[in-house]
Amino acid sequence: MKKAIFIFFLLQTGLIYGQSKKEQIETLKMRTDSLTNLLANEREMNVARVQEHIYIKGLAQNQIDSLRTDLKKINNIYDKMELENTRLKIDLNLNLTEINKLKNQLINKTDSLIIISNELKQIKVKPQNAFSNIPENNFDILITKFINQEKNTTEYKNWIANIVLKDFDGDSTYVTKKCLAYINDVIDNAWGYDGSIDDKTLNKKWATQYDLKYSNFGHLFETGNGGWGTKKLTKIEFLGELNNGNWFKLTIKGGSGSNDTSTTLVRIIKVIKKEEAFYLDNFLSLSEQ
């Protein structure tokens, strides 16, 4: 711009030398006004440029400030994420530690449950084994040893009701061989026929195996020698398990006449089951009234 003013000035100077003084004055005046206008324009343009630069600088500064603000926010977010990540790692480690702890506890408890289960199995087996070889010659002791009194014995009771009503005095189809020999000896001794087994021999033969205190019976489920006209099994009470058998207390009412229930018998029997068949394996007579 300055170069243009300088050239303009040289041109105007050349023109002045060919004019009169008045013309020269007018020319100089015009030249001065032009130069003033040119300088004013130049000043305005410079002011505009400066304002433009200031504006651009302001925009740039605003962008820089905005970017700095965004960067600060990003840094804050990053710091928070780093802090959260650290916290999550700590929580994860704690959770892993807790999981391992719980896993070990579960393993220990599982092992304990296995041990307890095995012990329970042994406990279930032990009573049967512990009470499978008790002498049966003292009923007053036996009655304190029964176990599993709550078991279901419906099929046993149905079988008992059937043999009681049939009134057999012993049969190998429903009495074990040893018990049948014992019952026959007791019945023979009770009737006292010639040649029947005497008390001494009965005691010597059976006292260690059966309770002879309760061997006062002449029939299994009746009394007398004429046969009963009426018989009712009024009660079957399950006493429990012992010596691999189920023990029952029977209450039987009856008599020789029709509708006669004047006599009450109380019997204790032991029933075993072998190959789906039931057998009497002990027999006691508690009372005959």
Q: Where are the domains of the chain?
A: 1-130, 139-288
- What average pLDDT score do residues 223-238 get? 88
Higher pLDDT, 71 or 263: 263
- What average pLDDT score do residues 107-128 get? 70
**Burial readout 174-206 (b: 16 or more C-beta within 10 A, e: otherwise):** bbbeebbebbebbbbbbeeeeeebeeeebeeeb
Question: How many secondary structure helices (H) and strands (E) does the chain include?
Answer: 6, 4
Contacts of 209 (CB under 8 A, 6+ apart): 135, 136, 137, 178, 182
Does the pLDDT value for residue 86 go beyond 80?
yes
- What average pLDDT score do residues 254-281 get? 93
**How many residues are there in the chain?**
289
Q: Which residue has the tokens 């029952």?
A: 248
Q: What is the pLDDT of residue 129?
A: 45
Confidence of residue 18 (pLDDT cuts 50, 70, 90): low
Does the pLDDT value for residue 3 go beyond 70?
no
Tell me if residue 86 falls in helix, strand or coil: helix
| Sheet bearing 263-274, strands edge to edge | 230-242, 245-255, 263-274, 277-288
What is the pTM for the complete model shown? 0.56
Burial bucket for residue 266 (CB in 10 Å: 0-12, 13-18, 19+):
middle
Confidence of residue 128 (pLDDT cuts 50, 70, 90): very low
Contacts of 205 (CB under 8 A, 6+ apart): 185, 197
Average pLDDT over the chain, rounded to an integer = 84
Residue 288's nearest CA partner among 224, 236, 232 is: 224
Residue 187's nearest CA partner among 140, 229, 223, 160 is: 223
Let me know: does 117 contact 109? Beta carbons within 8 Å: no
- Identify the top-confidence range among 89-103, 106-120, 188-202: 188-202
Q: What percent of the chain has pLDDT over 70?
A: 88
